[in-house]
Amino acid sequence: MKNFRPYLVIYQKIAQEFSEIKPSDVQAELRNAHNIIKQYRKEIQALRLHRNKPTRDEMKDYIDDTRKKNGCANFEALARKLGYKDGTTVKNMIKNLRLIEYTIPPHKR
């Protein structure tokens, strides 16, 4: 029984600390914990959406590299360069980045 004495003392200290906590404090702590969890969940979702995708500035550089002779953006070449199947995927990504006007030739803007 002497071996359990230190654990018993620790358990009694923990039980005493929990008995001093008011129920309203516990509710406030739970509410704060849930808000923190929601915040991190939103950040994780945003990071998953933008994982392995170029930023706006990088996309502008890629569009400039793959322009056709007439100045329009070449979506198929851009898709090959970024590793996607077809140009519609890249076109939708450009729409999401709000760069659709940048794909128009400079002299027609």
The pair of three-digit structure tokens given for residue 51, joined into one six-digit string: 């994982």
CB neighbours (10 Å) of residue 75?
Answer: 20
pTM: 0.54
> For helices 56-65 and 75-82, what crossing angle results, to 10°?
120
Residue type (1 letter), 3:
N
The domain ranges of the chain are: 2-49, 56-108
Q: For CA atoms 22, 27, 30, 32, give the dihedral sign.
A: negative
Residue type (1 letter), 17:
E
The pair of three-digit structure tokens given for residue 46, joined into one six-digit string: 């945003």
Question: pLDDT tens-digit profile of 8-65?
Answer: 666 676 666 666 666 667 778 888 888 888 888 888 887 777 777 888 899 999 999 9
